[in-house]
Chains A and B, each alone.
Chain A
């Protein structure tokens, strides 16, 4: 395997471990917003869609890249906005406690 692939694999494994650590500390209360927030993050595939759009040089690739960009953008924009809407509701009450829940 090439050095690039090996370092990519290392990054992959470390990112998985980071994901386990970050997530395991979130209280159940925030699991739905969290799922939605994580859902927005995999919208990063939009960057991948842009990369293939730049490489495209035939009608089939144009079509695939176009659909990929539409899908990716929908995932990113919709995901973040709906997560923000959910989280906004947790903060409307001035009496909301600042202490961390469920730790």
Chain B
């Protein structure tokens, strides 16, 4: 078979792989087909990677032994590491692992663009469009590489989760942006032949651009607080897709372009959905500073009042004699890894005839849908997990709402204008007949304002770590 024919078949297989990505994502619409969708996508990926091998072997020049060794050994190491990490990770630590995989994806895209540039610089192959795509791919890839590593480190606790302000942050960011733009202009002008730049200088300029991209990723993510990391990871995920598409343009490879653009768009939409659910703009998050504790805490204008605290025994009696309980799990539950305790308590209550449901805010946990995953892992039956719109009308009929580590998403102040959380969709916890909040302290959520729910006369505060508090409650309910 001639190389042209082989390329035709390879191209068609790449196209089939790209179609599998689209159909796979589509199947992830519903819990029932999501797993099949992911496997379809994985099948498309396997096909796309496998057909690349005969393509490389039949090209003029063929595949050298060194290249084969690089591909085989590299795949064994990278794939083995990825497999091991994906299998061994705790589900609560999963967001930072996704961020880590995102980082290496971005790094790979940047390396592809950089390496291709090194190969063609100083030759006729270097044209204006390629120079543009190389710089974009390298910069975006580098930003997501360093940015995702920082995000992952923040979630893991290696880097402090609180916003870290860089002295002169804005000026540094601006300077880095100028370096990138100037480098882009210089390399494009060089490729166009407008100015004469020799290969060595071009590579030096690209190195400066790459360094600026890496630093930009760090300065972009460091000032952002841990609670906003999901949005940042999603945004960086979108960036990586875009970087992969740019690498696709550099290599003139259709499957990279399609898959990269697909992820770029999906990550963008997902980021917007997440930011909307928190009533924040993406720009606002990236600009940082909100709720950073700089003393600009808004007066919510809510009713003052005293906080009523409650012991485990009293809370247990309320729960045990309720006919319906809605559990509202939040970020604090994920941090305390208390999802198994929640399920145990719920089963105990159910065995006493209490109807138990879970109210899941779209951004509960560390990522949208993360809470569903955590509770599913703890064997909470899927039908008991209710989304916000479905559960909100039920709060008026429920005897006890048990809030565990959720804060801003329950704040009634969101219904009024003029507060930092205004307009954010919330769970109507205050409509319940009585409310028990398990919380370590009266500390504020990331919005930096007091939660009016806590001073509601119907609310009782049970001050405890989510995991320890649940253990106490379980013991107390058993004793009732």
**A residues bordering B, Cβ < 8 Å?**
1, 4-5, 8, 11-13, 15-20, 22-56, 60-62, 64-93, 95-98, 100-103
Contact = CB atoms under 8 A, between A and B. Distances in A.
B112 A52 contact: yes
Interface stretch (B31-39, B191-199, B340-348, B393-401): B31-39
A73 B360 contact: no
Nearest to A73: B78
Given A41-B21, A75-B82, A8 B39 contact: no
Contacts of A78: 81-83, 85-86, 97, 101
B79 A20 contact: no
Given A44-B260, A87-B34, A20 B265 contact: yes
Nearest to B28: A34
Contacts of B383: 93, 95-97
A48 B22 contact: no
A95 B381 contact: yes
B67 A56 contact: yes
Contacts of B107: 67-68, 71
21 contacts: A19-B265, A25-B26, A32-B373, A33-B28, A35-B237, A36-B98, A37-B28, A38-B25, A40-B38, A40-B101, A41-B41, A44-B48, A50-B56, A51-B52, A71-B107, A74-B79, A78-B83, A80-B38, A82-B89, A86-B91, A88-B35
Contact of A50 (B22, B38, B52, B258): B52
Interface in B61-83: 63-64, 66-67, 70-71, 73-75, 77-83
Given A29-B31, A47-B253, A73-B82, A84 B39 contact: yes
A44 B45 contact: yes
A53 B52 CA distance: 12
Interface residues of B, number: 120
Nearest to A11: B257
Given A11-B257, A54-B59, A70-B77, A31 B273 contact: yes
Given A18-B22, A39-B98, A89-B377, 12 more contacts: A27-B29, A31-B362, A34-B25, A37-B38, A38-B241, A40-B41, A62-B66, A69-B74, A80-B45, A82-B94, A90-B34, A90-B373
A103 B387 CA distance: 11
Contacts of B83: 77-78, 81
Contacts of A53: 67, 70-71, 74
Contacts of B26: 22, 25
B49 interface: yes
Contacts of A95: 381-383
Given A89-B376, A90-B372, A45 B105 contact: yes
Contacts, number: 405
B111 A68 contact: yes
Interface of B is mostly: helix
B121 to A, nearest CB: 12
B201 interface: no
Given A17-B265, A89-B373, A74 B109 contact: no
A92 B262 CA distance: 30
Interface stretch (B151-159, B244-252, B287-295, B312-320): B244-252
A29 B67 contact: no
A27 B21 CA distance: 18
A69 B70 contact: yes
A75 B104 contact: yes
Nearest to B374: A89
Contacts of A40: 38, 41-42, 45, 101
Contact of A19 (B119, B247, B263): B263
Interface stretch (B218-226, B363-371, B428-436, B472-480): B363-371
Listed residue (A31, A34, A38, A97) with the most chain B CB atoms within 10 angstroms of its CB = A38
A102 B387 CA distance: 8
